[in-house]
Amino acid sequence: MVSGLRTKETIFVLFVFDNQADVDKSLKSQPWSFDRHLIVMQRYTGDAPVHELAFNKVPFWVQVHDIPTSFLTRKVAENLCKIVGDIQRSNGAVDEDGGSFFRVRVMLDITLPLCRGKVITLPSGEKRWVRFNYERLPCLCYWCGCMNHDDRDYELLVQSNGTLTLDQQQFGPFLRASPYKPSGEDVIYVPGYYEKRASRLQARSRDEGSSHNMVHV
């Protein structure tokens, strides 16, 4: 069952599930979006008024790129992501290894600017830039980097009567991560396809064998 409540700035929608497994799966599969706008989900037990719930945090997969090879470990990636938000521990360590980068599950506050990256200092004293990319990133404001509004609703842009120029934007599409494919998922298995193909090959082999026997009789 789905029911909705509209306020001046937000639409609240209540989803009712038949079982707990579907609830957990929906929350685990975040972030969700509709028409490129972020859907902020919150588990609701009915113990408090809806307007008292805080819809400001959503978990995202953050890709950590350009970590020096000698420091390319999950612990380093998670420590770097502490500046992004609250680290969400998970059991899928294999799927979180992208080879040249690490994926870290982070709870983001959508009212704060996205973190573009972090400068790190190597033991040699050399400074390096480590960048963050966000998977399934919806619309966000390229002026301030927040996800709770888009470019057109940026307060300073409205106040400036459109005099702000695009070169003043500090955020952009470069924050979006390319679709991630875990190793071994490039092959799509269609149930029954290989069985039917094997059956056809066996039938063809029998037909060819019969034709061969007929020639030599």
Residues 6+ apart with CB under 8 A from 177: 61, 63, 133, 134, 135, 137
CA distance 157 to 155: 5
C-alpha closest to that of 11 among 47, 51, 45: 51
Distances, alpha carbon 125 to alpha carbons 72, 81, 100, in Å: 18, 21, 23
Express each pLDDT in 128-179 by its tens digit.
999 999 999 998 888 889 888 877 778 777 677 767 777 888 899 999 998 8
Tokens of residue 17, six digits: 């599930």
CA distance 45 to 87: 25
Express each pLDDT in 2-56 by its tens digit.
334 444 466 788 888 888 899 888 888 899 988 888 889 888 877 777 777 888 8
Express each pLDDT in 43-93 by its tens digit.
887 777 777 788 889 999 999 999 999 899 999 999 999 999 999 976 554
State residue 1's pLDDT score: 37
Distances, alpha carbon 176 to alpha carbons 41, 144, 154, 171, in Å: 21, 16, 20, 10
Give the DSSP H/E element, type plus range, for residue 39. strand 37-39
**Model confidence pTM above 0.75:** no
State residue 97's pLDDT score: 65
C-alpha closest to that of 31 among 60, 64, 62, 63: 60
Asked if residues 167 and 67 have their Cβ atoms less than 8 Å apart, the reply is no
DSSP-H helix ranges across 29-154: 74-81
CA distance 104 to 134: 10
pLDDT at 211 over 50: no
More confident residue, 97 or 123: 123
CA distance 132 to 177: 9
Domain locations along the chain: 54-175
